[in-house]
Each structure stands twice: as structure tokens, then as C-alpha cells.
Amino acid sequence: MPQPALRYRQVHLDFHTSEQIAGIGARFDPEEFAATLERARVNSITCFARCHHGWLYYDSARNPERRHPHLERPLLTEQIAACHARDIRVPIYTTVQWDHYTAERHPEWLVIDETGRWVGTGPYEAGFYRRLCVNSPYREFFRNHVQEILDTMPVDGFFFDIVAPMDCSCRYCREQMLAQGLEPADPEARRAFGLQTINDWMHEVSAMVWAQAPDATVFYNGGHVGAQRRAVTDAHSHWELESLPSGGWGYMHFPLSQRYARTLGLDCLGMTGKFHTSWGDFHSFKNPAALEAECYNMLALNAKCSIGDQLHPDGAIDPYVYDLIGAVYAQVEAKEPWCRDARPLVQIGVVSNEEFGEERVPAAAAGAVRILQEGAQQFDVLDTQADLSPYAVVILPDAIPCSPEFAERLERYLAAGGSVIASYRAGLKPAGDAFATERLGVRLVGDAPYSPDFFLPEGDLGRGLPPTE
């Protein structure tokens, strides 16, 4: 469903606020809030309806007991009104699988592992990281929560946070698996069911939102946009790539994941933070040069910019934070005319091995990306379902097993004049006993008995090289 184009200068305003803190929003000044954003060149800001503690920041008729006990004003609705008066969009944040309030009161809705334990933090650990299962009655609560927002305030979009497939053994998942003829005791079947569950849920929620707010942007955040997201592209209006280099993602995450995300046909928004470290580091400031470099990298890779901040519990916006953000966004604004509707011109595709494991930045793909970046090459990152025809060269780094379907597509690509560079075990059949296509021009002998090993290049491969080790 087409939505308005993403804006280039966004802020993601975290607001996870414990019930033990008083005076929530007491110092919020709507005019000062919006004016500060405007001076900083911010033209879209994601604000909170509900946080990981489970509290609401607006007046709720459906769930009045969930309104933060010390909230002194309907913060979200005042933020929206003040920002809209200055043409600043306000996508609405709500949490999905982390909600401390719900987890405490409905432990029967939690994700359960195969040993019967909760997934996430235990009862005596700090944090709100227990996962809620969307196959439980929580699913209906969540629909009602979103519906109330749609019914009671203007909605520019939704940012649904903490959304990931879960290997769940709760009774609701086990019952549904059995009803579908699946074996709940089979870990592989549970994982496949968990992926299908969350994908179906995303489609369901997006359909509900777009039925009432067809222009709303919708994004489901799991901290990464990778190969699993291809199946739910149509449930999203765009991609947001949460990637704070100093916050656990590292400096290779965004260059790899954005080069993949931009191939899926949706607009992209990069997301870093103003923090020296990561989310919640309230009074730290990223080095201005680092923040500039991160935003410039977003623009260079065809993404818009979002900078994460966290509003003080009293609701007062920090002018010094927005001096930092504004200095960068003034430069972004000046560059926008050259970035708008730009498309990457690439000749190389790198097939990532992410879809064959659980790493977000697998070493083989990261190594290929680093080599090509340092060589100033223009390239995309692909999965095995991608169209290979736009690329002059496709690289299979180290660990890309070739299913019969992918091998057939490689053969068609090579027959049409494409070139493939495959390293180490890339190109082998999934069983690892032979290469999947003879067009690679090599055959598997086995693992070398020594490491490192050496060879003498002969024939075409050795032309112009001395025949010596």
C-alpha cells in the first residue's frame, strides 16, 4: 500500500518510564517541544503510546488502569498536536513482545521454552525482557489497544517494537500446532511455526491499521532487517534499520543490512542514536563527527536519517541534544535535493549467508562487504531468492550452500553471461559433498590436510605466474 514518502530528518524519542518515577510529563511544554524540534530541522518524531514497562502515555477509556500512575498530562496527544501545528509528523510507538505490566499480571500469556520456563528475565532479575506470545489472548488485547489509538487520535504511522519469531511451547502454540497436524515436540517444527505465526500476525495488524488509516506508515522492529523480512515486505510501508554502532550493532551492521534492505523495494530509514553508548544513556553525547559520519553513510546508501533520543521522564526536551542533532540535520537538509529519488548504480551482488544461520552480521558476508567498501566498489547484498540478472558479478562468500533451486538460477545467470566468484565452501550442495553446478568449473576433492596449504597454478589460471610455490 503506497504511503507518503519518508522524511529525511527524523528522531526516535524513547520513553520507557518506570512506575517508581513521579512527575511524568510535569515539565512538558508543547510549544517549547515543537519549537526545539523545528529549530533542529527535525520533521518527523516517533513518540510513545506505550512503553516496555507497559504504561500508557495518553488517556485511555479501554485500559485506564494502564495509564502511567504518575502521568500528569496526556503526553502523547499533546506531542502530536504541537508537532502537527509545525508540520512535523508523529509516528506512534507501542511495544509488542516486551511489556512488564502485562507479564506480571498475565504470566499465562508469556512465551515458554521447551523446558517450561519463561523466555527472558526471571522474577528476581532487573529488566522487562520476558516475551509475550501473540498466539495467546494477548493478541486480542493488542488489537484493542491499537484500535483505540486509531479511534482517538490522528495517526501518521506506527512503530511496533520488539517483534520476532519465537520458539514457543505455551499451551496456545502447542494446541494450534496440533490442530495443524504439526508436532510440538519437534524443535524445527516449532521454529517454523513461530516464524509463520509472527508473519501472519504482522499481516493481520497491518490490514487493520490500513483499513482505517490508509496513509499511515507501518514498521515492525526486531533490531535488524534481514532475509526473514522478505516474506513480510507487504506488511510494511518502509524499513527502519536500528543500528547504533556503539550500542551493540557495530560499525559493519548498517553497511551490510542497508545494502540488503534497499533491494526489497521499500523506502529505508537508517537509525542511529545521539548517545555515546546506547539507548537510555540519557546525558551522554555522541561525538559530532561520528554522528555526521553515520548520517552521511545513511544518505550515501539511499536511506533517510533517524537519530535516537530519550525524553527525560519529566517531559522537558533537552536543548543541548537538539543543538547536536540540528547541526547535523542542517547539513542533511542541504543535501536532500541530491538524494531524493536517487537509485544505487551497482555491478556487484554479494550473497549473504545470514539466511543459513542466526548471526545478523555473519563473518563471511561482513568480510566481503569490508573488502568491497575499502575498494570503493558499488554493490548490493542479496539473499538466495534475489534476482541476479542486474549484476555483472555475483560473489558467494565462503558459506553459501546451493539448494537445487538456487543452483538452477546460478546456471541460468552464468549462461546469460554473468560471472560468479565463490570462495571456500560456497557453491557446495547443502550436504557439502559436491559442488551444486558444474559451471563453477571446479570439483570437490576434500578438506586440505594442512592449513595453510599451497598450490601451483597451471594452465589459464597460472598464465604469467612463475611455476613455483
Tell me the Ramachandran region of residue 41: left when phi exceeds 0, alpha when psi lies from -120 to 50, beta otherwise. left
CB 308 within 8 A of CB 12: yes
Instruction: For residue 292, give the CATH number of its domain.
Output: 3.20.20.80
Residues 284-293 have pLDDT tens digits of: 999 999 999 9
Burial class (CB in 10 A: 0-12, 13-18, 19+), 206: buried
Check which CATH number belongs to the domain holding 436 and give it. 3.40.50.880
**150 lies in some domain:** yes
Decide: 272 and 243 in contact? Cβ < 8 Å.
yes
pLDDT value at residue 129: 95
C-alpha cell at 97: 513482545
Angle at 306 between CA 300 and CA 312, to 5 degrees: 155
Confidence of residue 453 (pLDDT cuts 50, 70, 90): confident
Residue 279 near residue 244, CB atoms below 8 Å = yes
- pLDDT tens-digit map of 104-145: 999 999 999 999 999 999 889 888 999 999 999 999 999 999
pTM of the model: 0.95
Decide which of 279, 313, 339 is a domain's last residue.
Answer: 339
CA pair distance 190, 429, nearest whole angstrom:
25
How does residue 454 score in pLDDT terms, banded at 50, 70 and 90? confident
Whether 289 and 378 map to the same domain: the answer is: no
192 and 47 share one domain: yes
Residue 1 has pLDDT above 80, yes or no: no
Listed residues 339, 373, 402: the one ending a domain: 339
Query: Can you give the pLDDT at residue 3?
Result: 66
In a domain, 415, yes or no: yes
What residue numbers bound the domain in which 316 lies?
9-339
3-state secondary structure of 242: strand
* Same domain for 148 and 58: yes
In this structure, are 97 and 154 located in the same domain? yes
Q: What is the pLDDT of residues 142-169, one digit of tens each?
A: 999 999 999 999 999 999 999 999 999 9
Residue 287 burial class via C-beta count within 10 angstroms: exposed 0-12, middle 13-18, buried 19 and up: exposed
The CA-based angle 316-104-23, given to 5 degrees, is: 20
**How confident is the model over 169-187, as a mean pLDDT?**
98
Residues 274, 285 contacting (CB under 8 angstroms): yes
Pinpoint the alpha helices (H) of 226-287: 253-261
388: its cell numbers: 541476479
**Directed axis angle between helix 319-339 and helix 30-39, to 10°?**
50
Q: What is the DSSP letter of 274?
A: S
Decide the pairing of beta strands 419-422 and 304-310: unpaired
Answer whether residue 2 shows pLDDT above 60. no
My answer on whether 216 and 321 are in the same domain is: yes
CA 132/CA 101 separation, integer angstroms: 11
- What residues are paired with 94 via a beta bridge? 50, 160
Q: What is the pLDDT of residues 339-383, one digit of tens each?
A: 999 999 999 999 999 999 889 999 999 999 999 999 999 999 999
pLDDT in tens, 310-346: 999 999 999 999 999 999 999 999 999 999 999 999 9
Do both 162 and 78 map to the same domain?
yes
**Gyration radius of the chain's alpha carbons:** 25
At 240 the three-state DSSP class reads: strand
Q: Which amino acid is at 416?
A: A
Cβ count near 208 (within 10 Å): 14
Q: Are residues 212 and 237 in the same domain?
A: yes
DSSP track, 290-353: HHHHHHHHHHHTT-EEEEEEE--TT----HHHHHHHHHHHHHHHHHHHHHTT-----SEEEE-S
Kindly state the DSSP code that residue 107 receives in the 8-state scheme: G
Q: Assess whether 251 and 162 both reside in one domain.
A: yes
* Pair (148, 56) in one structural domain: yes
Question: Does 42 fall in a domain?
Answer: yes
pLDDT class for 451, splitting at 50, 70, 90?
A: confident
What's the pLDDT tens digit per position in 209-251? Answer: 999 999 999 999 999 999 999 999 999 999 999 999 999 999 9
Distance between CA atoms of residues 290 and 281, nearest Å:
16
Cell of 162: 520488539
The total of structural domains in the chain comes to 2
Residue 445 dihedral angles phi and psi, to the nearest 5°: -95, -45
Among 124, 133, 203, 123, smallest CA distance to 168 is for: 133
Clarify whether residues 333 and 446 are in a common domain: no
Q: Report, as an integer, the average pLDDT of 403-416.
A: 97
In 3-state terms, what secondary structure has residue 105?
helix
Q: Are residues 48 and 81 in the same domain?
A: yes
In a domain, 4, yes or no: no
Is the domain of 409 the same as that of 299? no
Give the whole-number percent of the chain exceeding pLDDT 90.
92
Please give the grid coordinates belonging to residue 229: 523480512
CA atoms within 13 A on the CB side of 113: 7
Q: What is the mean pLDDT of the chain?
A: 97
